[in-house]
Structure 1
Amino acid sequence: MNVTLNKDAFKDLTLYTEEVRRDMNASGSALVIMKDNKIVHEWYSGRHHYEQGAIQINSNSRFNVYSVRVTYIGFAIALAIYEGLLNLDDKLSDYLDEYNKDTLGDATIRHLLTRCTGLKFENRTVYRVSDLGTTIEGKRPEILAKILYKATGRTVNEVLSNRVFKPLNWTNTGWVTEGNKNLVCDIDMLKNYPTLRIGSNIGDERNLYVSARELAFWGNLHLNKGIFENRSILPQEIFELITTVQSPNALPHQLPKFGFLWWVKDGEVSVDYNELGSELPAGSYQILGASGCSCTVIPEYNAVAVRMYNSLNAYEKLGFDYIKDIQMFDNLVISNLKNL
């Protein structure tokens, strides 16, 4: 991967990234900007936690990306659809035998991927809380992982490892089952000690740890529709599915639109909960995680912006405004890209 650093062009963005690290009490941060398939800016700051002996953040440091992981699960679903093992408009009731079929109703994989099922899942019970396709709800990647396994016999991790991570030699991406020196601890504002989230390697839990570089490569793989370092790794049709709006046409126009869990810039939305910066061009797409990690893909500029933090519950403890922050970050990315 070519690296052509331009620190001066991204001075404002770097200063802002550091300011936010302090504001949300993160012990570490990372920033990687790619343009035209090159890393044009890279910044690492702080340590893996606040305790004595903590390692400095570096290019191999792996952050828990939390909800950013849903884009990896979305990829696995898209691959299954491309292979003819799933259909975007298959009903959830065709795969989820443990839930009441009448309550699931006409909800489909499309509704689940675009966060508008109107359903609430609790253990083995499902409730309808709003009409189908009328509101935006939280992400349910573990339900998608169940559907994937039922349809293909493969876990999310198996799909990603075999089709992406191993072929591209990404060694700093994966669901973590045990500790290692490259893992960045979470600084949970509701606890008095650093934590690591260890789980299974199925790919349905919140234990995906990724380095800033490899998250940028993930975004760049989408930007180039399956081409990585001049090699065609995967069919472009998969990425066209993933990164274009898949929200049902009946969804109220003022609500945000999604591809395969990526938030896609598609016109103006009139709800307060809008994660996309006003300066992002149409067709840009983004994902944000609870720790402050994010990946923003900007096709109009042929660019990817990734930033990493390790702070949890900063809103509850400090009143930190995640939405205002990510909007400001996006707008600074665009402003700084114009300096190149």
Structure 2
Amino acid sequence: MYTKINKNIFGAIDSYNEGVQKQISSSGSAFVIMKDNEIIHEWYSGTHHFEEGARKIDGASQFNVYSTRVTYVGLALALAVFEGYLNLDDRLCDFFNDLDSETLGETTIRHLLTRCTGLKINGGKVSRIFNIGTNIEGKRPDLLAKIHEISTGKTISQVLKERVFQPLNWSQTGWMTEGKSTLVCDIHSHIDYPTIRLGSRSGEDRNLYVSARELAYWGNLHLNKGLVNNKQVLAKEIFELSTTIQSPSNLPKKHPKFGFLWWIKDSETSCSYNEMSSELPEGSFQILGASNCSCTVLPKYTTVAVRMYNSLCETPKEHYSYLEDINTYGNLVVSAIKELH
């Protein structure tokens, strides 16, 4: 349907992504666009690492998606809420008896999912850094995974494998415990050896490897609220929970809003630090990972855009700006998709 015009429309993005690949010292990259449930463009560049004999990046290459994995944790939590195991307003003190209940106070699962607990938890100690729901903090998928297992008796990976990955025949998505040829290495610098991050099978560790295609399918699953090939894989209400704003109403407008760990584009947000590009339409949602991978979903245009890299290098600020890159890339995607309409 779109094949004849793809090369001209997406060529500028391919070139831009290749330039970023060099800027951030990534050995490889990938870019996939899905529109109307069809992969209409895919581009692969480079190799799994810089060493001699490295495998070329292709459709089977699996990148470590790092923080992008939190949306997988989020979907498992949304399923648990939908099925009655959890409530968003359940208090954290009901799950973490080893932490000081007075400090935890009225902090809830909602605050944890939307990154505004105000808590610092290190080992067996908890302290309060800011008041509940007044600021934004880092992600804690490990705590969410523990709550999920306490409530359901199953790990994140067990549930997703049974309810999503296996029914959809996804074979290029998984938490890796041992190496294999399709895994793309992490690049830390030009002088360090490339590495592969392995971990447990439970689903909260930073060892989730996904191909660019299957990350696009993941975004498309959320875009269509669980409907795949006219089959409802999970109830649509689960995805409505996951991809709409769940941040507490008292969160100041200057802060970004979140669903179940997805960044949600909100017209009222006026924050100075925003990982959603300026041209993304309201209602778009996105997640990014440390290796510079990303999954961006644009419901207005029934489109999913996935970009993958494998760099964990510290790039000098004068050579590369993370936020400028995200904004430029996102705006290029929107511009290209508009040409199809």
TM-score range, shorter chain: over 0.9
| SS of the residue 2:210 aligns to | strand
Q: Would you say 1:240 and 2:227 are equivalent positions?
A: no
Correspondences of 1:67-86 after superposition (within 5 Å): 67-86=67-86
Q: Is contact 1:3–1:39 with CA below 8 Å preserved after alignment?
A: no
Q: Is contact 2:253–2:271 with CA below 8 Å preserved after alignment?
A: no
Q: CA deviation at 1:190?
A: 8.5
Q: Is contact 1:35–1:303 with CA below 8 Å preserved after alignment?
A: yes
Distance (whole Å) between structure 1 residues aligned to residue 174 and residue 2 of structure 2: 24
| SS of the residue 2:180 aligns to | coil
Distance (whole Å) between structure 2 residues aligned to residue 210 and residue 113 of structure 1: 23
Q: Is contact 2:148–2:154 with CA below 8 Å preserved after alignment?
A: yes
Aligned to 1:149: 149
Structure 1: which amino acid aligns with 2:183? L
Aligned to 1:101: 101
Aligned to 1:168: 168
Distance (whole Å) between structure 2 residues aligned to residue 158 and residue 75 of structure 1: 13
Q: CA deviation at 1:164?
A: 0.6
Q: CA deviation at 1:4?
A: 4.5
Q: Deviations over 1:122-148 (max 9, x none)?
A: 122111100110000000000000000
Displacement over 2 Å in runs of 4+: 2-5, 268-272, 313-320
Q: Would you say 1:123 and 2:129 are equivalent positions?
A: no
Distance (whole Å) between structure 2 residues aligned to residue 61 and residue 121 of structure 1: 36
TM-score (norm 2): 0.97
Distance (whole Å) between structure 1 residues aligned to residue 287 and residue 337 of structure 2: 19
Structure 2: which amino acid aligns with 1:100? D
Change (3 A) 1:301 1:49: same
Distance (whole Å) between structure 1 residues aligned to residue 136 and residue 112 of structure 2: 10
Change (3 A) 1:225 1:316: same
Q: Deviations over 1:191-211 (max 9, x none)?
A: 611010001100110000000
Q: Would you say 1:226 and 2:237 are equivalent positions?
A: no
Change (3 A) 1:247 1:219: same
TM-score (norm 1): 0.97
Paired residues, what number? 339
Aligned to 1:11: 11
Distance (whole Å) between structure 1 residues aligned to residue 112 and residue 9 of structure 2: 40
> Gaps spanning 5+ residues in structure 2: where?
none
Aligned to 1:294: 294
Q: Is contact 1:243–1:259 with CA below 8 Å preserved after alignment?
A: yes
Structure 2: which amino acid aligns with 1:284? S
Distance (whole Å) between structure 1 residues aligned to residue 258 and residue 316 of structure 2: 27
Distance (whole Å) between structure 2 residues aligned to residue 317 and residue 189 of structure 1: 16
Q: Is contact 2:226–2:236 with CA below 8 Å preserved after alignment?
A: yes
Q: CA deviation at 1:269?
A: 3.1
Q: CA deviation at 1:279?
A: 0.3
> Gaps spanning 5+ residues in structure 1: where?
none
Aligned to 1:196: 196
Aligned to 1:335: 335
Correspondences of 1:172-321 after superposition (within 5 Å): 172-189=172-189, 192-315=192-315, 320-321=320-321
Q: CA deviation at 1:315?
A: 3.8
Q: Deviations over 1:59-80 (max 9, x none)?
A: 0000000000000000000000
Q: Deviations over 1:218-268 (max 9, x none)?
A: 000000000112221110000000000000000001210000000000114
Aligned to 2:26: 26
Distance (whole Å) between structure 1 residues aligned to residue 24 and residue 268 of structure 2: 29
Q: CA deviation at 1:313?
A: 3.4
Q: Is contact 1:245–1:258 with CA below 8 Å preserved after alignment?
A: yes
Q: CA deviation at 1:277?
A: 0.6
| SS of the residue 1:32 aligns to | strand
**Residues 210-219 or 182-191, more deviating:** 182-191
Distance (whole Å) between structure 2 residues aligned to residue 166 and residue 305 of structure 1: 23
Identity of aligned residues (%): 59
Q: Is contact 2:23–2:319 with CA below 8 Å preserved after alignment?
A: no
Q: Is contact 1:4–1:38 with CA below 8 Å preserved after alignment?
A: no
